[in-house]
Amino acid sequence: METISAHGGRLINREMTGVERETLLEKTPALPKLNLRPREVSDLEMIANGAFSPLEGFMCEDDYISVRGNKHLASGLPWTIPVTLSTTDDFAEPLKEGDDIALYADEHILGVLHLQQKYRYDKQREAERVYLTEETAHPGVAALYEQGDWLLGGKISLLNRPKNPAFPTFRLDPSQTREAFKKKGWHRVVAFQTRNPIHRAHEYIIKCALETVDGLLLHPLVGETKSDDIPADVRMQCYQVMLENYFPTNRTFLAVNPAAMRYAGPREAVFHAIIRKNYGCTHFIVGRDHAGVGNYYGTYDAHYIFNEFDPELLGITPMFFDHSFYCKVCDAMASNKTCPHDSSQHVTLSGTKVRELLSSGQMPPKEFSRPEVAQILIDSMLKK
């Protein structure tokens, strides 16, 4: 059985090597210089390594408008999040179609944008369509409003990877995860997206999914997140201890996703699924309030949005899971789909309550969190 195709049929590679790279590097000192924000650095890497296939660069206006308005690229392929590069009036004004622009992170040259188009855009409209709110309390909207008023579209050429990348051992490109799955003989691979440590409810839904496939890609997002999210290095320790103690090592694979969080709820659930398709996964877990923040999205809106897409064009199978918990009467992990008992019998804790317990050095109930994970979180909070 062949590995699942990349989105659009071909895994993109925009990383330059050899003479092509050397020639572009020689040109860069004379080019207009644009410094990228952390999210744009992540996006550049994800475009170059094929994780954002079929994108070969930052979106031009036809794709941007189509994605913003109807959740598909201009070609008709499902795509839900604008991947754009913004700049200011001063920088954009002298640029012409066909210009090359050097892309930097601080003083480190990353690549070149081959400008196909510069265009103005409506930030309020993007906020309303993509995030379903114009409130700056929403972190995705706040980031959008901080962008420049122009967008630059065109293919990119990656010359250098970002400096000092986090978790280099686990930072695998889609071509590498695909190769790893092939070696393991996995045809059906389920991905789990997370920006939080795994507690018992997560463990339960991952294991339910794992019953029906060959292997699991645990694929935590380690790009830019909210300041109050748990740091990636602490989360990675939690994932490793979970996998070592509670999962079969021959059926799990841990790698990091360098993308930044958008907190776009339902749209981002589809986006995360497409990314994992490019990494070689056939299935994708969608739980409660996927990629949500605050009360901006309904509990299961991230499930319903998948009905808007042709399953063949989407090309990855979503696996929907209800809210899970430990039930004292069932004496087991369960969900509203499987447990008949009153919620007073369920062990569930709010995020606020968990933080209070951890920051005071107290273990949450073992029915809520594995003690090894809780200990890592307590240690990290007490160090602050």
For residue 304, what are the contacts with CB-CB under 8 A and spacing of at least 6?
A: 266, 298
Model confidence at 172, pLDDT cuts 50, 70, 90, reads very high
Chain position carrying tokens 């990349």: 6
Q: What is the pLDDT of the chain when averaged over all its residues?
A: 95
Looking at the chain, the domain(s) classified CATH 3.10.400.10 span 18-158
Report the CATH fold assignment for 18-158: Sulfate adenylyltransferase (3.10.400)
pLDDT at 2 (0 to 100): 54
pLDDT digits (tens, 9 = 90+) for 279-302: 999 999 999 899 999 999 999 999
State CA 281 to chain mean position distance: 14
Q: What is the pLDDT of residue 384?
A: 67
pLDDT in tens, 74-130: 999 999 999 999 999 999 999 999 999 999 999 999 999 999 999 999 999 999 999
- Give CA angle at 206 (175, 311), nearest 5°: 60
Whether the pLDDT of residue 275 is over 80: the answer is yes
Alpha-helix residue ranges (DSSP H) falling in 138-279:
139-145, 174-184, 200-210, 232-246, 266-278
**Mean pLDDT along residues 10-20:** 98
Q: Render pLDDT for 204-226 as a digit per residue (tens, 0 to 9).
A: 999 999 999 999 999 999 998 88
pLDDT band with cut points at 50, 70 and 90 for residue 356? confident
Please state which CATH number belongs to domain 168-383: 3.40.50.620
Given pLDDT bands bounded at 50, 70 and 90, which one contains residue 347? very high
pLDDT > 80? residue 248: yes
- Residues annotated as catalytic (active site), given as ranges: 195-196
pLDDT at 175 over 70: yes
Is the pTM here over 0.75, yes or no?
yes
Is residue 262 over pLDDT 60?
yes
Eight-class DSSP state of 227: T
Is the pLDDT at 170 greater than 80? The verdict is: yes
Q: Report the pLDDT value the prediction gives residue 308, as an integer from 0 to 100.
A: 98
For 28-44, what is each residue's pLDDT tens digit? 999 999 999 999 999 99
Distance (Å, whole) CA 97 – CA 118: 8
d(CA 182, CA 180) in angstroms, rounded, equals: 5
Q: Is the pLDDT reported for residue 182 higher than 70? A: yes
**Whole-number pLDDT of residue 96:** 97
